[in-house]
Amino acid sequence: MTVGIVVNPSSGPPQSRLSAEALVAWSTDQLRRLGVDPWVGVIEGPGHGAHLARQAVDLGASLVVAWGGDGTVNAVASGLVNTPTPLGIIPAGSGNGLARELGIPSDRRAALEVAVRGRERVIDAGTLNGHFFFNVAGIGFDAHVAHVFAHVTGRMRGVVGYTATIVRELFRYQPSHYQVRGDDGEIDRVGGALFISLANTTQWGNGAEIAPQARPDDGLLDLVLIDQRPPLVILGSLWRLYNKSVRRIGGTVMVPVRGVTLVATPAAPLHTDGEPIGTANQITVRVVPGGLRVRVPRER
């Protein structure tokens, strides 16, 4: 049995990163300890993760493990959608939203053992303008923060830096006006919004739950729309992300959808699993039921 690991040396805060050489050496040694043949690929730039995932499968890997943050997981998983090859996850990012949702341990050795010896779970995927996502996609302010944060360097890459970016940008961001229409008529709305999230799971990461009712295997996405509010009001409501009460933030709409079409004026920033993917006026989101197989702990 061959297991592929796709590693991202750029994931996580700089002070906790390993070199590419160290990642390859550790992965190779640990896979052999688990009794499988190793194949290790190193991500060298955007889009490379999906290519390496497909390469691992072509070379005979029966499992492909993503070692990195949500962006790395997104890239690797995108190469495995609608295939029989499962995804394993070694969480090494700042938020690790999908790994937390699936109960995957943060310890890298334990996470790798789950990937190799855990049980298989089938979950949904989503697409936003053709880009896959597996955790949460966003339109508006959260995507704007992702765009800004993508250019942050050094120690500001951690949770503290992300929080500081949110606070600063709340006072700068100018929201778009949206026409929103659900495919099945669940929602038909025109108006401004601070942001719109399409959630396949409950949380952005670090335990911040934007869609407490979301389930990754129900064939639906949870649309969460939060109206524009004064920055201090929004900041005073952030604690609701941590006690499952987002719905009680004023001006919040939460609707399960299979798909949604939006028109943004002006063009709104977009992200998939925290990775910025530019801006757009015309936005289409769809669910891909049962699109991904993933390894999770047996006790769950």
Q: How far apart are CA 288 and CA 264, in angstroms?
A: 23
Tracing tokens 């933030």 back to the chain, one arrives at 249
Q: How far apart are CA 64 and CA 54, in angstroms?
A: 9
Report CA Rg, the chain: 19
CATH number of the structural domain 2-117:
3.40.50.10330
Q: Would you list the domain boundaries of the chain?
A: 2-117, 131-289
**Furthest CA-CA distance within the chain:** 57
**Matching fold, domains 2-117 and 131-289:** no
Rounded to the nearest angstrom, the gap between the alpha carbon of residue 103 and the centroid of all alpha carbons in its chain is 15
List per-residue pLDDT tens for the chain, 300 residues long. 899 999 998 876 666 678 889 999 999 999 999 999 999 999 988 889 999 999 999 999 999 999 999 999 999 999 999 999 999 999 998 889 999 999 999 999 999 999 999 999 999 999 999 999 999 999 999 999 989 987 765 545 556 777 888 889 999 999 999 999 999 888 888 899 999 999 999 999 888 999 999 999 999 999 999 998 899 999 999 899 999 889 888 889 999 999 999 999 999 999 999 999 999 999 999 999 999 999 999 975
Give CA separation, 225 vs 40, 119, 138, 287, in Å: 40, 34, 10, 17
Kindly list the distances between the CA atom of residue 118 and the CA atoms of 70, 111, 207, 245, in Å, as whole numbers in the listed order: 20, 9, 23, 32
Its pTM stands at 0.92
The CATH classification number of 131-289 equals: 2.60.200.40
CA 20 to chain centre: 23
Instruction: Give the burial class of 184: count Cβ atoms within 10 A of its Cβ; 0-12 exposed, 13-18 middle, 19 or more buried.
Output: exposed
Before 266, cis peptide (omega within 30)? yes
Cβ–Cβ under 8 Å, residues 138 and 271: yes
Question: What are the residues facing 203 on neighbouring strands?
Answer: 209
